[in-house]
Structure 1
Amino acid sequence: MIQVSKLLAQGQGLAPVLLKRAASVELDWDTRQKSRFQALDSEGRELGVFLPRGTLVRGGDVLVAEDGSLIRVVAKPQALLRITPCSSHGSAFDLTRAAYHLGNRHVAIELKPDHLKIEPDHVLAEMLRAMHLTVVEVNEGFDPEGGAYAAETAGHSHSHAAAETKKPHVHGPGCGHDHGHDHGHDHAHQHKPAAAPKPLSIPIKAAAAPAPHVHGPGCNHGHDHKHD
């Protein structure tokens, strides 16, 4: 078994001569909705396909095998209902109306400028005929719309990534802004306040205890009391 884990949408970037020489593989819509499946290509090789989850394989896509060989995908013909406006009194707008009603029922639809295709359903066929549309059974390849919000892979993604949120500019050395000149526009420069100096701790010696008073001449204390 040859492993396949890469898909090129519609053979993008490949020369026509390479596509012409490539092997092919026919896959119905039920298989092409899967990201893991096995199949036989036109050369009889067994393929083990392992694509990213959510991948839809379309007719015209190219699978790339582990040995570098290319395999063109062909939408295998299957039973379908082909819907067209009434040739007598219909208009292209009738297809728009039909697509609206089918979309409300979450029906897979292949949209073409002049017709629609859906998988067989006799109830839907009667509804469409009652809307004066022509419904016929055909055996053709089926590539319905994936839906605007369907999971898309790298091969089929057309979404645009949102711009990244800009990070706030932090001024500092090497930021490329001249902080010595006023350029006429306001730059909010926030500078951290200088740290307050730490208070100096100066040790204070405790005052010496007063010397005991000794009475004597010149002490200015009255000594008129009697001494025994």
Structure 2
Amino acid sequence: MDGEETVKLLDHLHAPADTIRLDYDARLVRRKRLVTEGGRAVHLDLPELTDLSHYAGLRLPDGTEIALEAAPEPVLVIRGDLPRLAWHIGNRHTPCQMGGDHLVIRDDHVLRGMLEGLGAEIQEDARPFHPEGGAYGHGRTMGHDHGHSHDH
């Protein structure tokens, strides 16, 4: 891609010159054109599928550092019987962020209906989404097909 730059992933930043904000889905990449808040095109061409949530930023070939941030996105903030609600969310293999007195999932009307039916109090919000990592690997829910059905 002409005019774009390849980059190196960084665990720590010294002086970022710009920022790239990505939602949860967009933070899982291998090869992608990204655009900074300042309008600079950046081309990622990574050796494997990578969750950018694990990195602070990027270093461009000219040494410029670009911060990586989670973008706000529509979510549901859930309160109630958290162990029970978390079990049902997990049973649907839905990414879930855990707080001390609440759970957060991406906005989904089907899950909202299920959770309300279980007695959950639900508040709509827009915020960066940082779900729990999984027990195996880096914690992405990579689809639902895993050899059994949830239909009863």
With the length of structure 2 as denominator, give the TM-score of the two structures. 0.78
CA contact (8 A) 1:23 1:42 kept: yes
Residues 131 and 98 of structure 1: CA distance in aligned 2, closer, same or farther (over 3 Å):
same
- The equivalent residue for 2:19 is 24
Partner of 2:118: 131
**2:13 aligned with 1:3:** no
Number of the residue aligned with 2:39: 44
Aligned to 2:97: 110
The count of residues paired between Structure 1 and Structure 2 equals 136
CA contact (8 A) 1:80 1:117 kept: yes
Deviation at 1:131, TM superposition (A): 2.3
Cα offset, 1:33, TM superposition: 1.3
Give the secondary structure class of the aligned counterpart of 2:26: helix
SS of aligned partner of 1:55? strand
CA distance in 1, matches of 2:54, 2:95: 16
Q: Per-residue deviation at 1:75?
A: 0.9
RMSD: 2.1
- Cα offset for 1:41? 1.0
Distance 1:96 1:50 in 2: 40
* Residue number among 67, 75, 78 corresponding to 1:83 in the alignment: 78
- Going by fraction, where is strand more abundant, 1 or 2? 2
Q: Which runs of 5+ in 1 are unaligned?
A: 86-93, 153-228
The aligned counterpart of 1:56 is 51
Distance 1:69 1:41 in 2: 12
Structure 1 runs of 4+ with >3 Å offset:
none
Distance 2:121 2:48 in 1: 37
Question: What SS does structure 1 have at the residue aligned with 2:111?
Answer: helix
Q: CA deviation at 1:38?
A: 1.2
Q: Is the 8 A contact 1:54 1:151 kept in 2?
A: no
Shift of 1:140: 1.2
Matched residue SS, 1:128: helix
2:9–2:55 Cα contact (<8 Å) kept: no
Equivalent residue letter for 1:23: D
Superposed, which structure 2 residues align to 1:114-193 within 5 Å? 114-151=101-138
Query: Which SS does the other structure have where 1:78 is aligned?
Result: strand
Amino acid at match of 1:48: H
- Using the size of structure 1 for normalisation, the TM-score is 0.54
Query: Can you give the 5+ residue segments of structure 2 that lack an aligned partner in the other structure?
Result: 140-152
Where relative contact order (Cα < 8 A, 6+ residues apart) is larger, the structure is 2
